Structure 1
Amino acid sequence: MQQLDQKSRSTPLEALTRDARALANGDTVLSAPEAEVARQLQICNACRYCEGFCAVFPAMTRRLEFGKADIHYLANLCHNCGACLHACQYAPPHEFAVNVPQAMAQVRVQTYVDYAWPPALGALYQRNGLTLSLALAAGLAIFLLLALALNGTLWGGDLRGNFYNVFPHNLLVGLFAPVFLFAVLALGLGVRRFWREVTPATTGAPVSGPAAAEATSDVLRLKYLDGGHGEGCHNADDEYTLARRRAHHLTFYGFMLCFAATSVATVYHYAFGWTAPYDLPSLPKLLGVAGGLSLLMGTAGLFKLNLQRHPLQGDASQKPMDRGFIALLFFASLTGLALWLARGSVALPSLLAVHLGVVMALFATLPYGKFAHGIFRSAALLRHAVEKRQPDRLGLGAD
């Protein structure tokens, strides 16, 4: 407590100035959001009240100072569950103004910008609302115009319920494959740069089997959305809730089921010559319907929770990015399910054009929107699982 008492004699401005000056990482000076995270973590490191809440605080106790790589690593470990904010005696309106979820959220966006590939496109994170709007408009325009050009109509026609009578299979592959592969490449190169920077800051030890298994389990279970005690995290007030965790699970596994449906359909088409459309009870349709319904419920839940979010929790400037990504996922699932139900109707060409336009916008913005948080957070959780298995050089932490 002596360390905390010494800090309490400094004003927040003095502490920020001191830490920003002291925490230069080589020739790289911390940005204002990074310096703010460093300032708050110095206070947290003296208090330790939240040590058992999530992965951030045990990892924090292994450090006395916080350089850029440490801050990027810890910011991506944070799941913005809000437990520390609602428990903190130094949270606003206290003069220390400790708000770890908000400070971490601001740095996470900077992380995505800094590690974006190609670097010039990192600015799309900061203009995400405009990026999503343009991508959606372009995607819709492409497929609406193609439908008119190829079929002469967006309503009716003798299509016999077959999507490929509207857009040929090879045309769709030629349009979507390059966009999807670019998204995978951009995300992969971005997270590789992040991994290289944080590895020395997290002991640099290689990944072991047990560490990989633990990190995979933490990702798949969304362990740190339980508040660190299993009762859930905070959203609108001081009450614990598991609603965010459940909505995230529905969204994540719904997305994965839809991806699995597309993957199985690809195998059917190329390996066995079984061409679409597929109907129940075929495996692609079972996976697709289950995934679509799960994604629909999950994104609706996330949007409702986002509207109810406590104003001190997270970064308000990120809400357009969050809501834009949620909306794309919601309408991708909604139009996909509507397309299946209306497959034999005259609305098929129009619904198909709209669905493909939304999916194209989703693919095009994957590397430069909210989707990136899952990739970077998974990498941070893996480094945490590796680091916690190494000796604590300071000997100050609980683990």
Structure 2
Amino acid sequence: MPPVTELAPPQDGACQGGINLADAMTAGEAEIARVMQICNACRYCEGFCAVFPAMTRRLEFNAADTHYLANLCHNCGSCLYACQYAPPHEFAVNVPQAMAKVRVRTYQDYAWPRAFGKLYEKAGLTVAFALSGGLALFMILAIAMNGRLIHEPLKGNFYAIFPHNFMALLFGSVFGFSILALMIGVIKFWREVSPTKDGTPADIKAAAQARVPAVAEAVHDVARLKYLGGGHGDGCNEGDDAFTLWRRRFHQFTLYGFLLCFASTCVATLYHYIWKLQAPYAYTSAPVILGTLGGIGLIIGPVGLLWLNFKRDALRADVKQNAMDRGFIMLLLLVSVTGLLLLVLRDTRFMALWLAIHLGTVMALFVTLPYGKFAHGIFRSAALLKFNIEKRMPNRLGLGGE
């Protein structure tokens, strides 16, 4: 462990490695560069998560490095509570908070179209309710104009309210745009942080050889949510320095609930177009079972994440992002709750009303996907892929890491 006198406390416009960070980077990027250089001298947290092995491959940190590390950080809090230089120490090393502030900026900077990046600052709780409520009202009015808001039971036939082709075209177009916007954003991010950017021919060759195993490991890390296990596998620190695995579990409920709902839609599409089976489908059918399980997961996970969000230690968070976080969580909850209620009420006179409400919340979710908290999973997956490629490449510094 180096003596404290070898490190430097934060200063405005601090000069690191001969570069004036205040001139070369934004304040948030400069703060990550500052704390990473202190962490590089200490190394106490080197085995905690992917951030610190990635850090050891660098002596200086440019803007692209800070974007990469910010998205690699899972905000588990282990390093903050273990750090001897954390606040109130004069060095004020707070890795999770520094990473969180830059992480949301990367979503804005890489957003497509670029002007829409500002929506990250506005995609909060109020916007979530206003947008879902407004779109649901639009759907309700569209149904009411045809005099079918309260109707005789239709045996769960949604297409008697909205034709199948209309819904497929409308929601397919919005979802397609959202996926396109996310893909363009993450490609821009990848080009900026690519492990072979400015690399030597040997680096490019090593990266190419590492690609397949790196992809497999990155998928495994994402599927397990490995780095939500905290520094020692005991979980994250929520509210205090006690470890808990609940953050990982609630994320898993949310992730797999979303994937099950997506799988339900895909299977229903196959039923309709390939096997010529028309909705409504029986409660024992694959689309309904998958959708029900997914909806339950999307209630348990978001409720738990919302609870943890309210009790999270503000010291390791960027409180300005709370509105965006809670807005996304509430949208997921609205989609799942209205979807399950629609399943229960589909054989009643109120099916059309609940269909309109559910479709409004789904449309709101799709519209905000590229410009809200959903993006963090996509960017974090890209950062994990870079990490798993990079650690298989030659470490020219020879300073540690995996």
Q: Which moved more, 1:196-205 or 1:320-329?
A: 196-205
Number of the residue aligned with 1:375: 378
1:55-70 alignment, distance < 5 Å:
55-70=50-65
- Secondary structure of the 1:13 match is coil
- The reply on whether 1:144 has 2:140 as its aligned counterpart is yes
- The reply on whether 1:302 has 2:312 as its aligned counterpart is no
Number of the residue aligned with 1:13: 11
Deviation at 1:228, TM superposition (A): 3.1
Deviation at 1:294, TM superposition (A): 1.2
Cα shift readout 1:160-210 (whole Å, capped 9, x = no counterpart): 321111111111112111100100100000000000010127855235211
Note the aligned Cα RMSD (angstroms).
Answer: 1.9
Number of the residue aligned with 2:217: 214
Kept after mapping to 1: 8 A contact 2:128/2:330 = no
Number of the residue aligned with 1:22: 19
Number of the residue aligned with 2:165: 170
Give the aligned residue type for 1:318.
Answer: Q
C-alpha distance in 2, partners of 1:164/1:196?
44
1:135 to 128, 131, 134: 131
Give the aligned residue type for 1:155.
Answer: I
- Secondary structure of the 2:236 match is coil
C-alpha distance in 1, partners of 2:88/2:198?
33
Deviation at 1:337, TM superposition (A): 0.6
1:324-335 alignment, distance < 5 Å:
324-335=327-338
2:282 to 279, 282, 291: 279
Kept after mapping to 1: 8 A contact 2:261/2:295 = yes
Number of the residue aligned with 2:73: 78
Kept after mapping to 2: 8 A contact 1:4/1:46 = no
- The reply on whether 1:223 has 2:222 as its aligned counterpart is no
C-alpha distance in 1, partners of 2:153/2:105?
51
TM-score (norm 2): 0.94
- The reply on whether 1:291 has 2:294 as its aligned counterpart is yes
TM-score (norm 1): 0.94
Give the aligned residue type for 2:138.
Answer: I
Number of the residue aligned with 2:108: 113
Aligned length: 393
Cα shift readout 1:113-169 (whole Å, capped 9, x = no counterpart): 11000111111111222643443243223211221123x142233423211111111
1:237 to 225, 236, 240: 240
C-alpha distance in 1, partners of 2:7/2:47?
23
C-alpha distance in 2, partners of 1:6/1:308?
36
Stretches of structure 1 that go unaligned for 5 or more consecutive residues are none
2:260 to 237, 251, 257: 257
> Residues 295 and 201 (structure 1 numbering): CA distance in 2 closer, same or farther, change over 3 Å?
farther
Give the aligned residue type for 1:145.
Answer: L
- The reply on whether 1:394 has 2:397 as its aligned counterpart is yes
1:181-196 alignment, distance < 5 Å:
181-196=176-191
> Residues 335 and 89 (structure 1 numbering): CA distance in 2 closer, same or farther, change over 3 Å?
same
Deviation at 1:392, TM superposition (A): 1.0
Kept after mapping to 1: 8 A contact 2:152/2:348 = no
Deviation at 1:29, TM superposition (A): 2.5
State the percentage of identical aligned residues: 56
Q: Which moved more, 1:246-255 or 1:203-212?
A: 203-212
C-alpha distance in 2, partners of 1:134/1:114?
25
Cα shift readout 1:261-315 (whole Å, capped 9, x = no counterpart): 0000011101111011112211111111111111111111111111111111221
Give the aligned residue type for 2:173.
Answer: P
Stretches of structure 2 that go unaligned for 5 or more consecutive residues are none
Give the aligned residue type for 1:5.
Answer: T
- The reply on whether 1:197 has 2:192 as its aligned counterpart is yes
Number of the residue aligned with 2:359: 356
